[in-house]
Amino acid sequence: MKQSILVSFFRQKLILVVITIITIIYFKTYIFNFFIEYKVYDTNLPKYNVENVEFEKVINDYCDSKEISSIYDVVSTSLSITSQVLTFSSSTKSNNPNILTESKNAHCVGYANYFSTVCNYLLSNYEISNDWVAIPKRGQIYFCGFNIHNLLKIMILCVLKIFLQTNFVCGLILAYIISPI
């Protein structure tokens, strides 16, 4: 009798968990958009052209085996090229995609510039449409109305404090990271 009640209880919980997982998977976009918001605060980032021979070669080599005939192909291909070429680094000094092709390191703005430059290159070379243009924008991500950039800064500081074990150095780094540009 006890075992039957226990099995029934776990079966109900298992069904509830499975239904919850299926619901989350089915409505993942809605759930994501409900909790996450991207607020653009700078639309005046420079637009770059492909001027580096190496940069052009990377794009053309990747596109040799691809059929690019729609805006969806351009975006998908640009995302693939950007993710293959760049690695995230918070200490990047340039946002110019022609330089990033050589350094292979970029932060968020560098990724946006690189992606938009590849998109615009593909749009012009494959003559997809004159109605489309990729424009890089700078923004911040909010989770439930809370700016997570501030949270990332705090996490970085905690890691630095653990590794450096010096409050004075962490204080200097904190002042540097949080100070407005």
| pLDDT tens sequence across 3-33 | 677 677 788 888 999 999 999 888 888 888 8
- Has residue 181 got a pLDDT over 60? no
- Has residue 170 got a pLDDT over 50? no
Q: What are the CA-CA distances from residue 135 to residues 31, 62, 101, 103 (Å)? A: 27, 22, 19, 22
* Res 2: pLDDT: 62
157: tokens are 């500081």
- Best CA proximity match to 143, nearest among 134, 133, 152: 152
Domain locations in the chain? 1-40, 44-136, 146-181
pTM score: 0.69
- Best CA proximity match to 133, nearest among 118, 148, 145, 147: 118
What average pLDDT does range 35-50 have in this prediction? 82
- Has residue 86 got a pLDDT over 60? yes
* Percent of the chain scoring above 70 in pLDDT: 80
* Res 172: pLDDT: 44
* Percent of the chain scoring above 90 in pLDDT: 4
147: tokens are 């700016």
In which residue are the tokens 């500081």 written? 157
* Res 17: pLDDT: 92
What average pLDDT does range 85-90 have in this prediction? 78
Q: What is the CA radius of gyration of the chain?
A: 23
Task: Band the pLDDT of 168: cuts 50, 70, 90.
Answer: very low
Q: Who contacts 50 (Cβ-Cβ below 8 Å, separation ≥6)? A: 56, 59, 97, 98, 117, 118, 121
